[in-house]
């Protein structure tokens, strides 16, 4: 695969980009896509989350909680009132 070397201005522009982005020229023409590599700390967090995440338990909770929500208008009223009491 070919590569380009990013100068400081491009590095500054891409600093903080955390998800894939489309790069365009000033006219809107797509030049390409940039997908950042996660930092080592982020990779460690992902691995930790994968180790403690139990898909079966999450599905069980999802099924158990189904139907326990409130209509949007009621939720908005509670937010406006500054309370979460039912």
Q: SS3 of 82, please?
A: coil
What pLDDT score was predicted for residue 39? 79
pTM, two decimals, is: 0.45
Terminal CA-CA length for the chain: 58
- Where helices occur in 1-86 by DSSP H, the ranges are 8-14, 40-52, 55-65, 72-81
Average pLDDT over residues 10-15: 91
Report the C-alpha gap between 46 and 38 in whole angstroms. 10
Could you tell me the residue ranges of all domains in the chain?
1-81
Q: Are 68 and 58 in contact (CB under 8 A)?
A: no
Q: What is the pLDDT of residue 26?
A: 94
pLDDT tens profile 19-62: 899 999 999 999 999 999 887 888 888 888 888 888 899 899 88
């Amino acid at each position: 695969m070919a590569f380009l070397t990013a100068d400081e201005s491009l590095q500054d522009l891409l600093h903080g980009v955390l998800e894939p982005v489309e790069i365009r020229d000033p006219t809107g023409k797509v030049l390409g896509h940039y997908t950042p590599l996660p930092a080592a700390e982020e990779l460690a967090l992902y691995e930790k989350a994968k180790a403690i995440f139990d898909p079966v338990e999450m599905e069980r909770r999802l099924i158990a909680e189904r139907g326990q929500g409130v209509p949007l208008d009621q939720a908005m009223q509670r937010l406006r009132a500054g309370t979460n009491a039912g």
